[in-house]
Amino acid sequence: MELKYGGSEINQRTVLGHPSGLFVLFFTEMWERFSYYGMRALLVLFLTSAILDGGWDWSNEEALKLYGIYTGLVYLTPILGGLVADKFLGYRNSVALGALIMTLGHASMALEGLTGFFFYLGLGLLIVGNGLFKPNISSIVGQLYKTQGKEKDAGYTVFYMGINAGAFLGILLCGYIGETVGWHYGFGLAGIFMFFGMLQFWFAQGIFGDIGLKPKKGKVELKGNVTKEEAEHPEEVYRDRGIVIAVFAFFTVFFWWAFEQAGGSMTVFANNYTDRVLVGDGAMTFKIVNSLIAVVPMLIITWVLAMLFKQTFGKYALSNVFLGISFVIIWGIVIWMLQRQFGEDTAEVPASWFSVLNSLFIILFAPVFSRVWQKVWDPSGPVKFALGLLLLGLGFAFLAYGASNIPQGAQTAAVSMIWLILAYLFHTLGELCISPVGLSYVSKLAAPKIVGLMFGLWFIANAVANLLGGITGSYIDQISSEYGLSTFFLIFTLIPIGAAVVMLGLSPMLKKKMHGIR
């Protein structure tokens, strides 16, 4: 009997209509993103914090440049990680090795209070580990599905929910602990769950069957679960599709260049220019809202965990045990944090907290977008990209308006939180139009022999965007002093909207070069 999905017979058991193996990857990626975004939320705040507060007292310019270099390299190394997996280790070994190296990186970051050497060593290990991990886990997702249509798109959107569930929890908890307890505790917490993610993946990898194994000499695998006929398409078809991937990658630079201000200049705006101290009813309202946004997503994710346990515990008990332990720990930290916050008379919203909104909105709206793409309106890839860029630009328009009354050169201000909230909402809606869709298109358009390589190339675009975003963000003080903070955010408003208009113009040509891929 032919199996519906790639992988083992156990993988045919479904969770929420998708193969169980997708949720093994979901939780592996969730804990990796917990570690990455938890550390990222603290990086600029730690570097710019006063020495008496345990930071390094760097200027915004210095901190944002290092932020750009680090996040740029994080997305550059996947090109090498894709090559290593395609030629030598295979996807699964690469994912496991990358997770181990990142665990060591976070452990090193936790020692930042001893010497700067451990801080930079930790950053280096995180960069290398991410290169092995990031492109290859995305490649495994693509091979779980034997069809190239809407079901795979929906699978990537579910996987993207795992990414953002991890980011949400990492920012919320690592950010809170780092800002209120100690920076090295926040950095160390990020590593604990990377370790659990590695263990649960390693002990459940049999569910993937032959997917992602070390390549055999002299044997060319048909990656991505393509048919023989698809693998024998004329070279010009794959060349055209490669051009489409390149165009998408080029335009995604504009998106992530602006979007990644979240961990840079938008964090500076939250820290220095936003009214974050709440008292009375405002403080109580925040505590209640913060409790809801912590507990409700945790309940949903725990429910998904229970469904995965039901399908896989009998075969992969050890993996499930490690995953269960990680959830016991995370629930304990959530309850401790909320009890601590309710014990205080006032509420000072951590500057890192606003980054949580992106992940929260992803969790809330990803199922909506998935259903819309499947049942209501499924525009072409170029149209989705243009829509994403437009929404991103509108998000920065809110920030530009909110900052319009801040005097030129002002070092501090007390702008309403609503402008950051609206910016994160529109940025998230734009992200849902681009990021999961982009991953799915790379999987569907790439030639079978070089799927890992093409995922690596996709992340190079992210590397360029992050590097340029950090460099551009480092001019926040200079531009604010000469032209005003509103002008700074207008730059990120106008360029993405302009890119959206150009993408719409290219849409007919790109659809033709996709040769039937939707």
484, 403 in Cβ contact below 8 A?
yes
Per-residue pLDDT of the chain (518 residues), as tens digits, is 678 899 899 999 999 889 999 999 999 999 999 999 999 999 999 999 988 888 999 999 999 999 999 999 998 888 888 889 988 899 999 999 999 999 999 999 888 665 688 999 999 999 999 999 988 898 899 889 887 667 887 887 788 788 888 998 999 999 999 999 999 999 999 889 999 999 999 999 999 999 998 877 654 444 444 544 455 587 888 889 989 999 999 999 999 999 999 999 999 999 999 999 999 999 999 999 999 989 988 998 999 999 999 999 999 999 999 999 999 999 999 999 999 999 988 889 999 999 999 888 887 887 788 788 878 888 888 999 999 999 999 999 999 999 999 999 898 999 999 999 999 999 999 998 998 778 778 878 888 777 767 877 787 888 999 999 999 999 999 999 999 999 999 999 999 999 999 999 999 999 999 988 87
20, 13 in Cβ contact below 8 A?
yes
Q: End-to-end distance of the chain based on CA atoms, in angstroms? A: 29
Reported as half-sphere exposure (CB side, CA atoms, 13 A), residue 151 has a value of 13
Span 215-273, pLDDT tens digits: 776 544 444 445 444 555 878 888 899 899 999 999 999 999 999 999 999 999 999 99
* Cα distance between residue 440 and residue 150, in whole Å: 10
* Cα distance between residue 496 and residue 70, in whole Å: 23
Instruction: Tell me the CA distances in angstroms from 325 to 176, 302, 515, one per residue in order.
Output: 22, 12, 47
Which stretches within 474-484 are classed as H helix? 476-482
Which stretches within 378-450 are classed as H helix? 381-402, 418-445
Sign (positive or negative) of CA dihedral 217, 460, 36, 121: positive
Burial 424-461 (b: 16+ CB within 10 A, else e): bbbbbbbbbbbbbbbbbbbbbbbbbbbbbbbbbbbbbb
* Cα distance between residue 205 and residue 208, in whole Å: 6
Which stretches within 260-380 are classed as H helix? 265-273, 280-312, 317-342, 356-371
Domains in the chain, please, with CATH?
A: 18-513 (1.20.1250.20)
Q: Give the closest residue to 27 by CA, choosing from 204, 224, 208.
A: 204
Six-digit token pair at 458?
């996709």
* Cα distance between residue 76 and residue 360, in whole Å: 27
